[in-house]
Each structure stands twice: as structure tokens, then as C-alpha cells.
Structure 1
Amino acid sequence: MSRAPRPTPIRRLARAAAIVATAVTTVALAACSDGQVQVKSLASPGWSSFGGNAGNTNFAYPRVPDDLALSWTRPTGGPINSPLTVSNQSNVSVTANTPDGCNWMVLDPRAGRMNYCKRMRPGIEVQSPLIDQFDQPYVGEETMFLGWTAGGAIRWRMPVIGVPVSAKFVAPSVALMATTQGQILLLNTQDATFAAPEVRLRADANPDNAMQGFGDCVVSGPRCGIPAPAAVDFDGQRAYLNFWPQGAIASQVRALDYREVDGKREVREAWHADVPGGIVGPTAVSADGKTVYAFSRLGKLVALHAADGKPKWTFDYGDPGFATLTATPDGKIIPTGPLGGPLRMFADRGDKAEQVWSRTDLKTASLSTLTNSGTAWTVVRGNGDALVLTEVSAEDGKTLRSLPLPDAKGFATGVSVSPNGQLAVATHIGQVYFFDSKAEIGR
């Protein structure tokens, strides 16, 4: 497949952006019955960000078709480190660590053709683009965070200190952008103006060295201030970070309020919780906003009261592995353990966690995704270490479906679900797989 054309000159970009903005306004006007213009951007109804949603719970509401089958597959030319995101139109956004050519691609759901692709600076490979309901992405690179049109033209640029981590919507038309060096920005997604004053959580943030501490981010080391995307309680207007304070012996969970006070929005620390050994991976917040989950470096799954950061319970999980989880609104949890480990489900009982079932015969090779249909999707290793997309019952762990990933090896970065129930999977070695209803394939 041919590569997308090079970016157009600035004047043409500006004109394209104006056309898109006009089109968006027209659509909004047509959709509003009371005559009010509403163009505030929100997270796409699809798999709009890292973790699938604001809370990083990797939970999907759409029903997955019964006749699911592999529709297409496509190589990226380099390793994939971050989960895919999928827009309202089922377009798949993937970043990759490619030696040359494009390292960010947006693929159409019909055949995996490139809607567009970009060559970005270092840092893009660790991000899952944030997508709004107009199919407009928000993603960055070292020293810069950018808003884009649905067609791949730059709408705006915002200089940053360090490397952005995957962004989140925190309010209508407001995105939270955090960097590896501890900078926090709340940006108006229409024009990148500040929705709140800038916050720098570390005094050693270095505007002249964007890659400072970047190497520590993979292991949540002390030189990386914020190694993972925030979990956001959208209704409660609070974000939760894996944050390593400068000079501290371990990382902590830090809660940041960003609600408006007297008509002005500010980012303020609500509390911080020092977890023994520190934490690894991203935080997650329950659907009701009452519980924050994190993995400790000592192998414990930790639940904290979101109101004040006090411990609810800890569970000795063992090797934290990928240090992520999927959780249902009623407190069923599947942690992503070490590569090749068993698939296990736990239940949050309020004051403790209980194991519901365990599949020791399954060798997991991916983050899992729980669905509103009462099933979970994950990637496991089959015969000869081949990778298989697998659906299990959330009730008892029984295997319901197994769909091979042809020629896949290593591990997968997660299972993303479109608004239509299509599934997108990427392997670390750089291959994207897209599953759709057999009735839709080839139409």
C-alpha cells in the first residue's frame, strides 16, 4: 500500500483546517433542534484513549458480533508499544517505533488502508492518540503536543517540557496533557489556549532536554516523573497519576482536582498516597469514581479510597507484569500479569479482593478487555507460541471463542473495541489485526 503524501504547506493546512471547522459547525447546527450551536469536543464513543476510556478500565459497552472474523491485517514496519485507539468511525490509530517512514498511522476499517500517516519525532511511539467525536486526534512528540483535523492536518501546536504521555479528556473541550518531566497542562481542544494555569510537579523539569529521564519511563524509574497516562474521573473532575516526586525513594499515587472555583479552573493536589515499594504502570479509577486501583512494585494490587487516598485493600498478586487491568462497573477485575501467566478474575468486595476464577491453562500475552456482554477478550499463546484472540465468560472463565492471529508472535498490546463491536489488536513486533462481522467483510 502506498504511503500518504507529505504534509501540505502551511497556507493549505490553514485553509483545510478552516474547511473542517466550517464543516463541523454545519454538522453541529444541523444536529441541534433548539438552534444552539454545540461544537464542544468530547471523547469519541469508540476506544478513544489509552485504557479505552477516561478511567483506564479497558471496559467496552458495544456488543461484539457473533460472526466475528479476521477482516484485514497490516504491518507497521516497527515495534508497537502502545495500545491502539479506535474512533467513532472505526478508524484505527496506531503508533510504532519505525526506523524510517511513518511512525503514526490512521487506518480505515474496511481494508486497513492509510487514511493518512505521519513521521513524528521521538516520543510518539509511547502514546495512544486521544480521539474526539469528530475523529480529530490529539497526540504529541518530544517538546510538542498537537491537535489535528480528521484528515490529518495540524490544527494547533503546544510546546511542552519533555515527552507527552497519552492525553485524556477531563471536561467538554478540555484535555489533560501530562509529560514525562511532570508538566501538567489543561488545554482547550479548540485552540490550545490554557483552560487552567500550567503546573510543574518537579523542579528539575528541563525545557532544553526533552528526553531527560525518558529512559526510566519503561520501568517507572525515578528520573521519569510521569511514566503512564492518567486515570480520570470525568464526573468527579479529578485525575489520578503515577508520579515519582523528585528525590523521593518511590513513586506514589497523586490525585489532582481540576474543577472550576469561582468560574476559574485550577489544578490542585487533592491527596497523595505512598504505596510501599512505589507503583508501576497506569492508575485506574472505578466507574462510580469511588476506588483507585494501582499495582505496587512489590507485586500487590492496591485499591485506594478515591476520596482521600486511604487504603481499601491490597491483594498479593505476585509479578505485576504489564501492571494494567480491566474492570467492570460492578467491580470485576482481570489484572494483566506477567507474560505467559494465567488469566484470573477477581471481585472487589469493598474491604478485600476475592478470586472468582483462574485459568492456569491459558498463557496470557496481552492486556484484557471486559465487555458489557459479560465476556472478556484477551490474547493467549497457543500451540508453538502462536497468538490467539480469545473470548472467555466473565462468570466462570470458560472459553467461548478462539480466533487465530496469523503469523503473530511475541505479545499483543491490548484489545480495542469499536462502537460497532469490531476488535483491533496489535502485536509488539508491529502487526495490526482487525476483526469484523462476516456480514460486513467484503461489502
Structure 2
Amino acid sequence: MAASLVASTQQAATRPVGHLENLSAYGPGWSTAHADARNSDYSPVRGAKNLTQAWKRSFPGSIYLGATNDAAGRVYVTTNGTGCHLHALDMATGNTVWCSGEVDERAIASSALLDREGHVYLADGEAMHAFDADGSVRWETPIVGTPLSAQFTPAGNLIFITHIGRVYVLDRATGQPILPPVELIPGAPDNDDTRACMRGTAECPAANTLAVDLATGRFFFTFWDKGAPSAGIRAMQLDEGAAPAIRPLWTVESLPGGSATSPDLSVDGSRVYVGDNEGGIHALATATGDRIWSHSTGYAAGGSPSLSPEGLIMPSGGGDGALMAIRDMGDRAQQVWKKDGLTNRGIPTQAAGGVAYATVSTALGNDLVVVDTATGAELDRERIPGLSIFSVGTTVGPDGTVLVPTITGDLFAFRPAQG
């Protein structure tokens, strides 16, 4: 996997531990699609080892991504059925607090992004929308293409890439552009068929959520350039000073078959992890794009991996892939454990305390299992009722509630069991 450097390859900056994260625009809780700016799919909340189902909500149509949540006890989920496409729910009961029909059905491609003031940001196929905590619209900014979830920048602006390859940076207070959109494929027309984005194939050039390094302003995303033989991963630098600009850093075009995984950043910002559609997971140096190691899982992941602060990686499910964990050992990856009896049907989510939550197949459908991340030992198992097929992004609330959405439009909440 060769890296083509377009700009300087300075070493990763020294990072003030926790400082920028504490000052960032992200709200407390699971406030973006993959938990944080790094796309870790990891919760710092100490995870419960024993759960019990609290409630279930069924929505018309489908759910494609995990539900975000905030410290005020609200859960936000996007759907593509008739009526509202953005739903705000009470985490304690699952009851609707408000819902909005201001966004169209292509809002299903994103999870709602939540800031520390309680505002909600969500794009559809026409615009980026900002909402107050009561669901009223604050502003709307027209866009071209459909993003697959947004992030915040180090300065607290919104940044996102639409599926046709347009990069936007907007002031989160007003929606005004901080700089003109960057067209990665100049003149690319908006194609409203985003189904190819589920697998990250050539028909959807920017199919995943970008990862942002809040210490340096670098951001990373998968991209299938026009006419390229395979997808790749790109790094760019965002400058938010007096003359805001985006400049390219490096490009690696070696993700065969495309990629259905959003890139993950290590805690220290020195490594970015990304998967391809032929069963590979790769670790690259964020400063240069140089490959550090590649590891084969034996199947193509159908979503992003979960990455703990200690470097434990749990790939998403795909086909008949077994639930597993691998660890970044520095110059190589090492399989820590693999459970052939647990077929992975979703995005496993790790939480503090050495636990993970995963959807696994059974003869009757799917179950939610709680596993010990050190050994893979099963600690608890809860039935997911009905025809769930697979889950699409398990998330964790501030109180330890585990939220499991399914492709069939159901959202289940499991809370820590008493005793």
C-alpha cells in the first residue's frame, strides 16, 4: 500500500491529554455517529455486564445508523419511512419528545450530531439543518449531495463530506460557510441513489463518516476517485485562522472493493485504521499515510470497527464473520480472541470496564450479547425480538443504557439490570 504525499509529512503533534476534548463542541453522551471525532465506537461510560430490555420502538421504513444521545436524557434516531425522519425520544421510556419532517428521507444516511449547548445538526439530500432542543429550526444551508454524518472541527464549526465528494465547513451558529465547498470530483452531479453508500463502492465516492483530529485539524476519510481502480483513504488539513483553507496531505488508493468502514483514529492521533471490502483492516501513519500493518479478518466488514483507547479493535459483522477482537501490537496486529459460535450481525461497541455489546445471530433471529473484551467470554445474553436481520450501530447512553437499532426499523433499549 503506497502513499502519495501531496504536502509535508510532519510528525504527529504532541497532544494535551483530554484538554481539547473537554473544550470541544461535542455534547456529553454519544453525540455523533461513531461516538466522537475519532469514530471510536467506544463509550467512556462504565459498561454494565448484565442488561434487561427497557423498551422498544418501531418506525416505518428502516434505520441505517446508530442513535445518538445526550446528557438531558434524549435519544435521536433517523428513519426513511413516511412522516417524520428525525425523532427525539425520552431515553427512560422511548416515548416521542418531538419529531421533525423538516428533513427528507435521505436524512437516514446520517446520525444526528449534538453540540454542548443542546443543538441538533442533521443533513438530508437538500440542506444541512440545525435545530434547537425543542425541535424548532435554527437555520438551513443548501448543500449538493448527501453527507454520511457530520463532525465538529477544532474551532467548533461543522465539517462534512457529501456522498459525491463535496467538503463543507459551516459556522455552527449561523450555517454560513467558513470557506467555499471543496469539490473532490469537480462538477460531479448529485445522484440521489445512495444505496451504493452502504458498501462504499465506486457509485458512492464518499461513503463514510470522516474522522477529525481535534489537536491538529487533520481529517481523514475514505474516497473512491473517479476512474480509480479501488477506493482509498485521504488526509487533509483544515486551517481555521484568518484565512480558512483546506489543503491535501496524502492519498492512499488501496482499499480493494471499496470500504464500508469509517476511519478510526488512535487516541494519540498517530494512527488511522480503516477496512476494505475484501476482509482487510489496515493501520496507517497519520502523518504520512505509510502502512504500518495489515490484518485479514476473513470477511468484508459491513460497518466501522470499535477501537478502545488501549488499541483493541473489534471489527463489524459481515456475512458469516465471527465476533473477534484484534490488538494493535505496534508493528503488527494480533488476534486476541475469536468466537466461531458467535456470528457477528452488527457493529460491536466497547465500553469502559472491559465489556462490549454485540448483535449475534441465533436460530430464531438475533441476540444482544455482552462479552468480556479481554477473553471474549459471554457475560449476558438478551433476546432481540422479531425479524431484526442485523443491527446498524449499537450506542451507549450516559446512564449505561444500550441502544440497538435494526435495519428493519426497530430501536431497542437495554438498561443495566438491578442487583
SS in 1 for 2:145: coil
Confirm or deny: 8 A CA contact 1:253 1:279 kept in the other structure: no
Could you say which residue in structure 2 is the equivalent of 1:8? Answer: none
Confirm or deny: 8 A CA contact 2:79 2:105 kept in the other structure: no
In the aligned structure 2, how far is the partner of 1:414 from the partner of 1:105?
A: 16
After superposition, what is the alpha-carbon deviation per residue over 1:87-126, rounded to whole angstroms, capped at 9, x for unaligned? 222311111121x222221111121111111233231111
In the aligned structure 1, how far is the partner of 2:306 from the partner of 2:296?
A: 18
Confirm or deny: 8 A CA contact 1:88 1:135 kept in the other structure: no
Could you say which residue in structure 2 is the equivalent of 1:114? Answer: 96
Could you say which residue in structure 1 is the equivalent of 2:268? Answer: 288
Could you say which residue in structure 2 is the equivalent of 1:153? Answer: 136
After superposition, what is the alpha-carbon deviation per residue over 1:124-158, rounded to whole angstroms, capped at 9, x for unaligned? 11111111123311101112111111111110111
Confirm or deny: 8 A CA contact 1:197 1:267 kept in the other structure: no
Q: 1:217 aligns with which of 190, 197, 200?
A: 197
In the aligned structure 1, how far is the partner of 2:291 from the partner of 2:50?
A: 44
Could you say which residue in structure 1 is the equivalent of 2:337? Answer: 357
State the percentage of identical aligned residues.
27
Structure of higher RCO (CA pairs closer than 8 Å, 6+ residues apart): 2
In the aligned structure 2, how far is the partner of 1:219 from the partner of 1:298?
A: 11
Which residues in structure 2 correspond to 1:284-363 (within 5 Å)? Answer: 284-363=264-343
Could you say which residue in structure 2 is the equivalent of 1:22? Answer: none
In the aligned structure 1, how far is the partner of 2:371 from the partner of 2:198?
A: 30
Q: 1:212 to 1:104 in 2, by over 3 A?
A: closer
Higher mean C-alpha displacement, 429-438 vs 182-191? 429-438
Mark the runs of 5 or more structure 1 residues left unpaired by the alignment.
Answer: 1-39
- Indicate the RMSD between aligned Cα atoms, in angstroms: 1.9
In the aligned structure 2, how far is the partner of 1:77 from the partner of 1:260?
A: 41
In the aligned structure 1, how far is the partner of 2:358 from the partner of 2:375?
A: 15
In the aligned structure 2, how far is the partner of 1:411 from the partner of 1:158?
A: 34
Structure 1 counterpart of 2:85, one-letter code: N
Which residues in structure 2 correspond to 1:121-270 (within 5 Å)? Answer: 121-206=104-189, 210-212=190-192, 214-260=194-240, 263-270=242-249
In the aligned structure 2, how far is the partner of 1:108 from the partner of 1:427?
A: 19
Confirm or deny: 8 A CA contact 1:107 1:113 kept in the other structure: yes
In the aligned structure 1, how far is the partner of 2:176 from the partner of 2:153?
A: 15
Q: 1:387 to 1:174 in 2, by over 3 A?
A: same
Which residues in structure 2 correspond to 1:69-108 (within 5 Å)? Answer: 69-98=52-81, 100-108=82-90
Structure with bigger gyration radius:
1
Confirm or deny: 8 A CA contact 1:180 1:213 kept in the other structure: no
SS in 1 for 2:393: strand
Q: 1:297 to 1:92 in 2, by over 3 A?
A: same
Higher helix share: 1
TM-score scaled by structure 1?
0.85
TM-score scaled by structure 2?
0.89
Mark the runs of 5 or more structure 2 residues left unpaired by the alignment.
Answer: 1-22
- Say if 2:372 is the partner of 1:407: no
Structure 1 counterpart of 2:391, one-letter code: A
Higher mean C-alpha displacement, 390-399 vs 294-303? 294-303
